[in-house]
Every structure is written in C-alpha cells, then in structure tokens.
A and B are shown apart, each in its own frame.
Chain A
Amino acid sequence: MDAVQKIVGKALVASPERQAEADQDWVIVKRVQEGDVAAFDALVLKYRERVFGLVYHLTSNREDASDLAQESFIKAFQSIHRFQGQSSFFTWLYRIATNTALTQLRKNKLRGFFSFEKLHEEEASPEVLNQLVDRTSGGDRGALLSELQERLNEAFQKLSIKHRTVVTLFEIDGLSHEEIAEIMDCSVGTVRSRLHYAKQLLQAELQDYLHP
C-alpha cells in the first residue's frame, strides 16, 4: 500500500476526498491489471455518469454521447495495462473521454442536430427556476425551461472545441484549473485564458437571461 501511496502521491490531487478516491481507484485498477476483468465494472459504475455528462455537454446529442462514452470506457479497458498511476484514474479516464470526443468533433462525424436529455427540475437551482417563473409572469414553466435549455446548448455549440471543453470541465464538472490543465495537456494559464474568453462569448450569447 505504501507503493500505491507513493505512486498516487505523484498525481495531481486537489483535495483529501480526491486523494481517497484515487487510492480506491488504484486498487481496482491493479485488480484489473492482474486479470480480474469484472473489477472494471466497478469503475464503469462509478464514472459512467460523469463521463457521459462530459461528452454530452461537448456534443449536445445524447446518442452521440452514449456512443462516445462507451467508446471511452472500451479504450480505457484496452489500455489499462499501460496505466502506471502517474495520475489519478479519474484524470486518466477523463483525458481519454475528452480526446475521443474531440477527435470525433474534429472529424465532424457526429450527428448534426441536438438531442437533449431531460432537465430534472428537482436538481436545478430553485432560485434560478423561481426567477424564470417570475419573469414569465406565471407562464408555462416547462416550456420556459426547454427554451432556456435550447439556448444554452446553442451557445455552447458556438464555442470552439477547446473553449467548450474548458467551460464544461470547470463550470459543469467542477474540476480545478490544474486538473483541467492536466486533462487537456496544457498550462494552467492557458486554461484560465480559455475560460475567460469562453465566458465572454457565452455572456454575449445569453445576455437576455443575464443581469444587466
């Protein structure tokens, strides 16, 4: 276990929770590397929603996101014997998913239309929803949410791939600048710059919904 700590200690871990998470993942990875293929299911079950969410926000199409998320897990499964624990498994898996999605986006082989997931109202911020209801003066709540969801995804797709990735990882997945820099294989300053520029573009696109 000391060796595991030594290796995982090299990884960029933002918090003690992430450290504990990385240790657990490393143990599972070692089991998979030793031939316990069924142990990989635990990793899939743990990260499938986050990987799917990442790819979904990059593509704005649920079918494409499903295919790309599955492809990301397959790539991770095929390459897991080369994972040496230099970074956390979560970062390594996110890098695979990001590269897989970016490759498909650059090839422009994805579907050319939006296919949104259902927006769960109970998981959304109550303050935001209340402000939207008040603004529509008691209008149709569901229609208002659908309109906002469509405008958000349109604004996302107007961003470049790299800016879209940075915003997704930072604002939606809640990763730190350092983690994003490690995933995207760039500097932290580049991440900050891209994030700033992407927010400016989004504010310009969504100015009807923002504070003056």
Chain B
Amino acid sequence: MKRPGNMGLEELLRLKRAERPDPAFWARFEAELRVRQLAAIVEKRPWWHPVMQTWGALRWGRLPWGAAGAAAVAIAVFWQHRGVDGVQSQSPELRQTAFVAEAVEDVTQMPLPVVGPSVDAEYPGQADRMDTPAVSAVSPGSLTPLVPWVGEALRAADQGSYRVSEALAVEASLADAGMLGVEVGPALGVNHGFESRALPAFRDVSDEPLAAVPSPREARRQRLMASLASVSDDDGRATGNRSTRAQVRDRLTRRLSEEELYDSVSRLTGGGDRLIVKF
C-alpha cells in the first residue's frame, strides 16, 4: 500500500540517530564498565602470555649464536652421560649379555640341590642322553639364540615364582658343560667386563644316600642272567659241548647289552655316502 507524503532514504535513516539511551543507562553502563575494567587489570594472564612476550622481544640477530650454544651444551651433556653410564650406552644385545653373565655368576654361587643326582642314579640312561647332545651343541655360536631365553628365565626367577626350577635347569646345563671342559663365557659371547670363574665340580653320585638303593634294572638283569645260565647248562648237558655253551652265553650277554642301544641316540652313524642304523 503506497502511503502519501513519502520521504527520501537518507531522511529515514537519519531517524535512527535519534535512538539514544536515557542518562540513567549511562550511569549503569559506566558502573559495569568499571567493574570489568578492574577485573581486566587483576585478571591472571594466560600461561602462554610470557612466552609470547619473550618471543616478541627476542633479538633475532643473536638467535644463531644462542642456537649454537644450546646445541653445544646438548652434545656435551650427551657425551658425558654416555661416558658415565657405559652399560646404558651399549647396544641392547650387549646389555642382555651382561645381564646373563651376572645371572650366571649368581647361579654358580647357589648350593647344588639333592634331587638331580638321585634321579640320575635311578635312571642312568637319561644321564647318558643328556651328555651326548651336550658335546655337539656347545659351540661358540650355538648358545647365542638361548641368551634371550635365559635372560627372561632369570628375570622370572628374580620374581620368585620359578626360582628353584629355572635355577636347577641352568645349573645342570652349566655343570654338564663344566664336566666336558667347555668354557661358558666364550660360548655366550661375553668378552667385555665379564670375569669367567671356574665352575664347581660335578658331585659324585655315590655320595648320595639314594645311590645305595639297588636299581630295579640291575636286579632284572641278574635274574635274566641266572635263568639263561640254567638254560645253557641244560643245553650243554644235552649236547655235551662246553664251547657251545660259552658261545651262547656270550651271545646272550651281548644281546642284553645291546638293549641299551634302543635308548641311545648313538645308533645312528653316517659317513660319506651312507647312513647306518643299528637296531
């Protein structure tokens, strides 16, 4: 709807200049502004404000000298730290080896348990099986893969849960190596900072009280020999040939001794282009 007596846009906009607050408004405005101004004065600056001020006041011409000095100090601290703490500056493998060397030293100082030799006395064949691979397994480089495992085992032993069992296993291995004249230190690759020490001698089995108990295998062998002797005597009387009885006894005795071959890994021999299996 068009209305009469219209005016220009500038005249209309000039009316907005007349929109002004009352004097009472300015009193309230000034009071509020005073409060906010005081709050702004005592307001705590943010944490990054000093950093920004320092950054703004930084003399850029001296920045390269400062950076060079900071780098020199950092390098000096690094080398000093490396010189003092030699173990930390070594490689992780060497640190692991040093840890194993310390653990081995602790194990060698432990008293030998009683359980191990008694088991060997009851089953001497198992002791033979343990000896046989030890000769071929111990070499300067063959124990290197075992180093982390030994380290973990000894670390667990320090925690107390498997201390006895793991210590016995390590002790038995070290005792076997000591009996065979193998030096454990070079085999572990420990050449730096490790003082090798003589391993204690393997304790004689006969000193143990369980060694006096007769082996059931020996009793079975005596019983079989007795029965075979009676059989051969009857056979000899029937044939009247004394030499034949002696041959039979020798053969049976040899056969009995060959039973141990089934329990030995040395029945496999090879050479050149052939493989021989003994039964």
Interface pick from B31-39, B98-106, B126-134, B156-164: B31-39
Q: Which of A40, A62, A128 has the most CB of B within 10 A?
A: A128
Could you say which residues of chain A place their CB within 8 Å of the CB of B37? 40, 73-74, 77
**Residue interface bits B4-19, CB-to-A below 8 A is 1, else 0:** 1111111111111111
Which A residues, 117 to 155, have Cβ-Cβ distances below 8 Å to chain B? Answer: 117-121, 123-125, 127-128, 131-132, 134-135, 145, 148-149, 152
Interface-located stretch among B20-28, B63-71, B76-84, B258-266: B20-28
Report yes or no: A212 in contact with B5, Cβ–Cβ below 8 A. Answer: no
Q: In the assembled complex, which residues on chain A have CB atoms less than 8 Å from the CB atom of B2?
A: 208, 212
A118 CB to closest chain B CB (Å) equals 7
Given known contacts A125-B11, A148-B15, is B29 in contact with A120 (CB within 8 Å)?
Answer: no
- Specify which of B9, B25, B32 is in contact with A199 (CB 8 Å cutoff): B9
Q: A120-B18, A131-B7, A212-B6 are in contact. Are A74 and B36 (CB under 8 A)?
A: yes
Q: How large is the interface on B (under 10, 10 to 19, 20 to 34, 35 or more residues)?
A: 20 to 34
Residue in contact with B6 in the complex, picked from A71, A121, A152, A211, CB distance below 8 Å? A211
C-alpha spacing A53/B10, complex, angstroms: 17
Q: Which of A78, A124, A156, A209 contacts B14 (CB 8 A)?
A: A124
Query: Is A177 at the interface (CB under 8 A from chain B)?
Result: no
Q: Which of A149, A167, A210 contacts B7 (CB 8 A)?
A: A210
Residues of B near A66 (CB, < 8 A) are 25, 29, 32
* Cα A206 to Cα B12 with chains together (Å): 9
B6 touches A209 (CB 8 A): yes
Within 8 A of B (CB), among A15-53: 37, 40, 44, 48-49, 52-53
User: Are A135 and B18 neighbours in the complex by a CB distance under 8 Å?
Assistant: no
B1 interface residue (CB < 8 Å to A): yes
Size category of the binding interface on chain A = 35 or more
Residues in A neighbouring B25, C-beta threshold 8 A = 62, 66
User: In angstroms, how far is the closest chain A Cβ from the Cβ of B192?
Assistant: 63
Is the Cβ of A202 less than 8 Å from the Cβ of B9? yes
A117 and B7 alpha carbons, distance in the complex (Å): 23
Which of chain B's residues have a CB closer than 8 A to the CB of A2? none
With CB as the reference atom, state the residue of chain B lying closest to A200: B9
Separation of A212 and B22 alpha carbons in the complex (Å): 36
Known: A118-B22, A128-B11, A199-B9. A57 touches B3 (CB 8 A): no
From known contacts A66-B29, A74-B36, A208-B1, infer whether A124 and B6 are also in contact, taking CB-CB under 8 Å: no
- Give residues in B with beta carbon < 8 Å to A: 1-22, 25-26, 29-30, 32-33, 36-37, 40-41
Cβ-closest 8 pairs across A and B:
A135-B5, A123-B18, A124-B18, A117-B19, A171-B13, A131-B5, A211-B6, A120-B18
6 of the cross-chain contacts (CB-CB < 8 Å) are A62-B25, A148-B12, A148-B15, A152-B12, A172-B14, A210-B8
- Sample of 4 further A-B pairs with CB below 8 A, known A48-B26, A127-B7: A117-B19, A118-B19, A125-B15, A152-B13
